[in-house]
Amino acid sequence: MSARRPRRAMPARPIFYSFRRCPYAMRARLALLVSGTVCELREVKLSAKPAALIAASPKATVPVLHLPDGEVIDQSLDIMRWTLGQADPEGWLDRADAALIAANDGPFKHHLDRYKYPDRHGSDRAEHRAAGLDLLAVLEERLGRASHLDGPARGLTDAAIFPFVRQFAEADRGWFDAQPLPHVHDWLARQLASALFAAAMVRPDPWRPGDPPLLFPAA
């Protein structure tokens, strides 16, 4: 099923519904920045989702990109691919490992959620932490051969996976730092220290109807 649906309302520029800490929205923001695609950023308060977001995408989860022609893209990888299809000055689309991203979005995300929120899922935290660590070993092996997941330069694979590894690390940073993952530790540290990540992590107030447009990236 396509994640893109035509809508009647046509914004003057792309409208991007986001939530700062959501890893899916985070990776979409990284792609928007790299492509130079300027949009109107609307930060969403998840406990009070705006009607405009629900009207654009009934699934009502971020990220959502509402294009000027009325088309709506409401899956983060589709947003990344669309925006990089407009401009890809760093060649991110040439470094996109679909299988590795699928392993991140499927098994790794499954274990990440149950590691971070054992009460919510009724899960064994240690079991899911160990399973996540096993999956990180795949990244460790890959990063032992190159500085990034798809070669010597950052690409779509790195941007798509990094926000989830960040979450895994922050769930218990002391434990994570003690694990024998030197290449993953170095790679994660470089992503966190990058100017791109700093630019992606702007901290806007939640959007309300009538607010003046907030451009992202800022002029």
128-157 confidence digits (pLDDT tens): 999 999 999 999 999 999 999 999 999 999
User: What number is the average pLDDT over the span 33-49?
Assistant: 96
The span from the CA of 85 to the CA of 93, in Å, is 8
Q: Which residues span the domain enclosing 121? A: 92-197
Same domain, 52 and 130: no
Same domain, 64 and 104: no
* Residue 2 pLDDT greater than 50, yes or no: no
Structural domains counted in the chain = 2
Q: Alpha carbon 120 to chain centroid distance?
A: 22
| Dihedral over Cα of 195, 197, 203, 207: its sign | positive
What pLDDT is recorded for position 102? 98
**In this structure, what CATH number is given to the domain that contains residue 66?**
3.40.30.10
What pLDDT is recorded for position 218? 85
Same domain, 77 and 126: no
Same domain, 54 and 134: no
Same domain, 129 and 206: no
- 146 Cβ contact partners less than 8 Å away, ≥ 6 residues apart: 152
Looking at every residue in the chain, the average pLDDT score rounds to 94
For the stretch 31-53, what's the b/e string if a residue is b when 16 or more beta carbons lie within 10 angstroms of its beta carbon?
bbbbbebebbbbbbeeeebbebb
pTM of the model: 0.93
Please state the φ and ψ torsions of residue 217, each to the nearest 5 degrees.
Answer: -60, 150
Radius of gyration of the chain (CA): 18
Looking at this protein, which amino acid is placed at residue 194?
S
**In this structure, what CATH number is given to the domain that contains residue 138?**
1.20.1050.10
Same domain, 106 and 187: yes
In this prediction, what percent of the chain has a pLDDT beyond 90? 94
Per-residue pLDDT tens for 197-216?
999 999 999 999 999 999 99
Per-residue pLDDT tens for 104-121?
999 999 999 999 999 999
Cα distances from 210 to residues 4, 53, 65, 204, 214, in angstroms, run: 26, 14, 19, 15, 12
User: What number is the average pLDDT over the span 13-19?
Assistant: 97
∠ CA(115), CA(121), CA(126), 5° rounding?
30
What pLDDT is recorded for position 11? 65
* Residue 81 pLDDT greater than 80, yes or no: yes
Same domain, 45 and 78: yes
- Band (pLDDT 50/70/90 cuts) for residue 8 is very low
- Band (pLDDT 50/70/90 cuts) for residue 86 is very high
